[in-house]
Structure 1
């Protein structure tokens, strides 16, 4: 049986492109036939593209992909390659003269690990589209390649983040899925509140961001973390929603982020959640979709760090579990 993932939502594919030398990459969530979309930005340090058009008052109703990428603001260039891939295949918003693919994007800051002079570009974005399929790799892949968490003390307290996904199908056949890139300032916790990956000591003992914050940190410690974090996610459903409902779905999904990451939505994070609705099935009550979206996003976040692997001397959760 296939592991539940966002691609169990009808009309959704996922592709990764990875640069293991530079420790960066791109993950694209493709909806070539179009999906109604919304977005909710909660973090204090976001870096995004094409999020204004997702406002329910604006004209365009559907998007054709969402790009999640490393490389900080440099990495937004990856979306150009996704636009090219879609355009070549005739997908996009019909403006009469041509079709314009609509591709929102969000980035994480991963320049502090691997190489800071190489970041995702249009070629890598295109490659992620070519690789898109229904099987979704998790962990240190795609946009999660250089992801880290627990950076309250800079990279000296960090552990590995990554990509995670999960989904749930309701009794009426509607599926809700999530895909997330976890690159948080805070710790990732399970449904019992136990830290799975987060701030640690030099001997790899988990101490937790909350403990370090309460104990007092130097201004330099915070300076090392400013703008170097962000958890970015896509939640998707095959229910029929309008843009206002998709926006509310993204907002409710943020509750899952706050459950699984502590603290969340900090001044140093750019936490952004996109919501997609492919419109295959009649929608159940929005409160149901939102509640499930929060649950699957929280599960995907934990899976992201559980699947991550050590790189550049930064340990992963699986290393601590085996020590």
Structure 2
């Protein structure tokens, strides 16, 4: 066996050892606690909608702005459970997916079918970081201008979602070519413009159509109410501003979630881990901009089956058990600014 083959075999053995050790150390953390899911979602959604109502009311401007900010953070946390829905095993938290769609997914025009069946591809070992990954772009090798442009474009999410559900969805029901385009290109929360989604089949197709129909009816009702003057313009604009703020916040978090340094070839398990970002304590701000376990994004790629509320304990166990030379700590970053600065520098260096 050649030296190169020896090195590859050794690397594969070390990676397999790391994965097995991580799985063994966190063996007791795989079961979600339904009470945590329900309480967290209820408090986040409740606070978010109460703050939104206050932001829409006739009070002092500074109170409306403060309430709008609280609404963005609280509803963003509630909406982030869409990520957990993709990883929850069937029946693990009974009724949670339906409740989330009724409380958050449909009202905010982000029903779970936009992510279910899409995000899972991002975790596939043969897809991560490649052209077939719906949630990956080689941002570190792209123009630095790509970063602010992507954030600005995210701000138009409310308009795009309204067009998608109030206009394109009903029209596509009677125009098959439009339906094909809508399914392939405009039915996934993805950042890779080359990604084309496969049409749903079986039970997934029925769930998709039900959720899409409900979101479409809601979007049409909002649009009709605004045109007829039944919904005050202030309410429409405030709601759109909150949704826009949530989308911008999520895009900024997305930019900080990875190093985006893949060369387009499939990465190993440790390669995926080290290309992703943890922002562990003691900082508390990540709990706001990367809620529901998203602050442990690298660890989530290593152990995707662990529910969000147990990732902190999983990180503590691995940090204590693994020696510094194992490389586990290399995915930890001090905060949002450091992750973004590194990405900007990498993009700037590639453009030079």
Which band: TM-score by shorter chain? under 0.3
Structure with a larger share of its residues in strand: 1
TM-score (norm: length of structure 2): 0.25
Q: Which structure dedicates a bigger proportion of its chain to helix?
A: 2
Using the size of structure 1 for normalisation, the TM-score is: 0.26
- The structure number with the bigger radius of gyration is 2
